A and B are shown apart, each in its own frame.
Chain A
Amino acid sequence: MALILLAGCGGSGEDGIDVSLRVVAPDNNIRLEGAECAGARPFEHVHAGAGYALEDTQGEVLTEGELPAGIAENADPSIDWGVERIPTVCVMALSLEDVPERGAYLLQLDEGPPIEFDAQLVSDTEPLQLIVP
């Protein structure tokens, strides 16, 4: 009985969800599409190894970690630039598992204001895109 009671104390009792995010530094920097990247100025704080925290709106940290390296994506796919090096944005993929369910979340990077998003926007199939302000 004591073991059962102790085991019950270990969990938070909360259900977790998986959250897939695309963190976009909209820097329009000239790069090769698909190249490894970090945020160009003024987004220089968005780079591999920089810290992030996912918080709820009360400020409780639900999960935290370090950003991966980004991948350069065409800043405007509607344009055929006609050259190898093109205006790009730097996109970092975050896959957060078993995040406690909340109505809304805040992604806080090492610098800059938090990026708030509603839990209803989180999808099982498509990562949610967050633009770094």
Chain B
Amino acid sequence: MRPHVQRAVLLTLLALLLALSACGGEDEQTYGGAEALPGPLPSGVEFEEPPAGGVPAPDFTAELLDGSEVTASDLWGDRPVVVVFTASWCEACKEQHARVAETVAEHEGVALLAVVPGDDAEAAREYAAELEVDHPVAVADDRVWLDWAAREPPVVVLVAPGGTVLRGWPGGVEPAVLADQLDALAPAQ
């Protein structure tokens, strides 16, 4: 092959490689953003009425990891919500968060909302990507953590449809315990 033909072939291959690598950029998604918000409750899915009384869950509005906003009460209007207070620097939180997400995924219609500290947004994006979270992640300031008495992550809280706090687990919860609580709220078969 003549030298100028070789150069042309090499340049063509290089251009192809560049084009292919550019296509890979579409994979760069932000986990924990608005796309991860739950859609409407599937038809036919209903939940048991929570016990009377109880403490109202403190409502809040916060930014998600993609910069959009979430209002917590919009989530718990018609379904149970599991709230996980976590942080990117908390190694113990990663396993807890993943196990809670697995348990919630087994319960149709239940929503999961993760909350990270206000100064943790940048690192939390990597954290969310590492866990490949498929639910919203809110970046909430100290006021929210104080309102929820979340002194140290991980803290897991179960909120009933309508916004009553059913249970809270500082330090985390065993999946079987959370599953029992969710089963009690689950639609009758």
B79-120 near A? 1/0 per residue, CB < 8 Å: 000000001011110000000000000000000000001000
Chain B stretch 128-162: residues in CB contact (< 8 A) with chain A: 142, 145-146, 151-153
Assuming the contacts A30-B170, A41-B146, asked whether A48 and B152 have C-beta atoms less than 8 A apart, the reply is no
The CA of A49 and the CA of B146, in the complex, are separated in Å by 22
Chain B CB within 8 A of A44 CB: yes
Chain B CB within 8 A of A36 CB: yes
The CA of A3 and the CA of B171, in the complex, are separated in Å by 59
From B92, B153, B171, give the contact of A85 (CB < 8 A).
Answer: B171
Assuming the contacts A30-B170, A35-B171, asked whether A41 and B152 have C-beta atoms less than 8 A apart, the reply is yes
Q: Is the CB of A38 within 8 A of B145?
A: no
The CA of A85 and the CA of B153, in the complex, are separated in Å by 16
Chain A positions within 8 Å of B91 at CB level: 36, 48, 69
Q: How far is the CB of A42 from chain B (nearest CB, A)?
A: 9
Q: Is the CB of A44 within 8 A of B152?
A: yes
Nearest CB in chain B to that of A45: its residue: B119
Chain A stretch 11-53: residues in CB contact (< 8 A) with chain B: 27, 29-32, 35-41, 44, 47-50
Q: How far is the CB of A34 from chain B (nearest CB, A)?
A: 12
A100-111 near B? 1/0 per residue, CB < 8 Å: 000000000000
From A27, A31, A38, A41, give the contact of B90 (CB < 8 A).
Answer: A38
From B89, B142, B146, B170, give the contact of A38 (CB < 8 A).
Answer: B89
Q: Is the CB of A40 within 8 A of B89?
A: no
Chain A positions within 8 Å of B90 at CB level: 38, 47-48
Q: How far is the CB of B6 from chain A (nearest CB, A)?
A: 49
Q: Is the CB of A37 within 8 A of B152?
A: yes
From A41, A48, A85, give the contact of B89 (CB < 8 A).
Answer: A48
Nearest CB in chain A to that of B171: its residue: A31
Q: How far is the CB of B117 from chain A (nearest CB, A)?
A: 7
Q: List 19 A-B contacts (CB under 8 A).
A: A27-B151, A27-B152, A30-B171, A35-B92, A35-B171, A36-B91, A36-B92, A38-B87, A38-B153, A40-B151, A41-B142, A41-B146, A44-B145, A47-B87, A48-B90, A48-B91, A50-B89, A69-B92, A85-B171
